[in-house]
């Protein structure tokens, strides 16, 4: 077992399923104690917790909607209290509502900004108050920040592109403290929300250099790299893992 993160303390937002759950399990396998947030479906959150605990680490689940700033701050504070600190923050929680601009609801626009951007900022602001040198902040962005090849995705792409600027700026704020911050930008990944065997997936595969979907474990591996000691000189970056979607 590769315990590159032994006794580190990590919070993963939106960590109950999909990419988030894969990240929780990978960081736990690498030795980190983990906390995750979820909005609904506590059964899924508990399943992910059990999988993390099987690696012999502490794990807890916290119900918190990333659109609720007070809930996000409370989740960070509970992580610090129960795990004894925080060394790694993975801002994974996100939403995607696609629609033509003529039909796009303003409430969906606002929720995109609240979850995909403001929630990331709030969690980061709360976490860095407790982080020491060597701290890691990793945002799960999207390759759609670089390329949006179909109609209806403008607001989602905008919200993920905003993370690029946020990370570049915060790298300057946090660098003197020895804290790194980066984006991971996945392409199409096989999850319950975007299965690799759907008609939509068949369209996306035609746009990729590698004609397959990625796996959640592949995304988690890049997160684990950024969270670990080997990535100490990487900050302010947006690292794309998309099978050549943006090539």
pLDDT in tens, 45-84: 999 999 999 999 999 999 999 999 999 999 999 999 999 9
Residue ranges and CATH numbers for the domains of the chain are: 9-241 (3.40.50.720)
Place of tokens 């696609």: 98
User: What Cα–Cα distance (Å) separates residue 66 from each residue in 43, 49, 120, 141, 226?
Assistant: 19, 19, 8, 15, 22
Q: Note the helical H segments in the chain.
A: 18-29, 42-53, 69-83, 106-112, 119-128, 154-175, 199-205, 216-227
**C-alpha 18: how far from chain center:** 11
| Confidence bin at 193 (pLDDT 50/70/90) | confident
Taking the C-alpha atoms of residue 102 and residue 164, their distance in angstroms, rounded to an integer, is 27
Closest among 28, 10, 36 to 88, alpha carbons compared: 10
Place of tokens 């299965």: 195
Q: Are 62 and 36 in contact (CB under 8 A)?
A: yes
Which tokens belong to 157? 């792409």
pLDDT on residue 21: 98
User: What Cα–Cα distance (Å) separates residue 163 from each residue in 63, 76, 166, 247?
Assistant: 24, 20, 5, 20
| DSSP state letters, 105-170 | -HHHHHHHIIIIIIHHHHHHHHHHTT--TT-EEEEE--GGGT---STT-HHHHHHHHHHHHHHHHH
The mean predicted confidence, pLDDT, of the chain is 97
Give, as one character, the DSSP assignment of residue 12. Answer: E
Please name every residue paired with 155 in a beta bridge, in sequence order, or none if there are none.
none
Tell me: the pLDDT tens digits for 94-115?
999 999 999 999 999 999 999 9
Taking the C-alpha atoms of residue 143 and residue 124, their distance in angstroms, rounded to an integer, is 21
pTM, two decimal places: 0.97
Annotated catalytic residue: which of 38, 104, 156, 213? 156
Please name every residue paired with 140 in a beta bridge, in sequence order, or none if there are none.
184
Is 104 one of the annotated active-site residues of the chain?
Answer: no
pLDDT at 234 > cutoff 90: yes
pLDDT on residue 240: 98
Compute the average pLDDT of residues 216-223.
98
Please name every residue paired with 136 in a beta bridge, in sequence order, or none if there are none.
88, 180
């Amino acid at each position: 077992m590769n315990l590159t993160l032994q006794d580190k303390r990590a919070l993963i937002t939106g960590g109950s399923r999909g990419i988030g759950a894969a990240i929780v399990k990978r960081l736990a396998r690498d030795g980190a104690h983990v906390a995750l947030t979820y909005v609904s479906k506590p059964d899924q959150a508990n399943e992910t917790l059990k999988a993390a605990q099987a690696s012999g680490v502490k794990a807890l689940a916290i119900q918190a909607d990333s659109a609720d700033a007070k809930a996000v701050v409370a989740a960070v504070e509970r992580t610090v209290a129960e795990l004894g600190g925080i060394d790694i923050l993975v801002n994974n929680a996100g939403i995607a509502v696609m629609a033509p601009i003529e039909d796009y609801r303003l409430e969906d626009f606002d929720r995109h900004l609240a979850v995909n951007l403001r929630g990331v900022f709030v969690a980061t602001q709360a976490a860095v108050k407790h982080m020491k040198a060597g701290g890691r902040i990793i945002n799960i962005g999207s390759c759609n920040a670089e390329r949006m090849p179909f109609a209806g995705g403008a607001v989602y792409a905008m919200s993920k592109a905003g993370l690029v600027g946020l990370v570049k700026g915060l790298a300057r704020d946090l660098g003197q403290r020895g804290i790194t911050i980066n984006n991971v930008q996945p392409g199409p990944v096989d999850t319950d929300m975007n299965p690799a065997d759907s008609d939509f997936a068949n369209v996306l595969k035609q746009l990729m250099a590698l004609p397959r979907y990625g796996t959640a474990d592949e995304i988690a591996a890049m997160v684990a790299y950024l969270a670990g000691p080997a990535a100490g000189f990487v900050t302010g970056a947006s690292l794309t893992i998309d099978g050549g979607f943006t090539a």
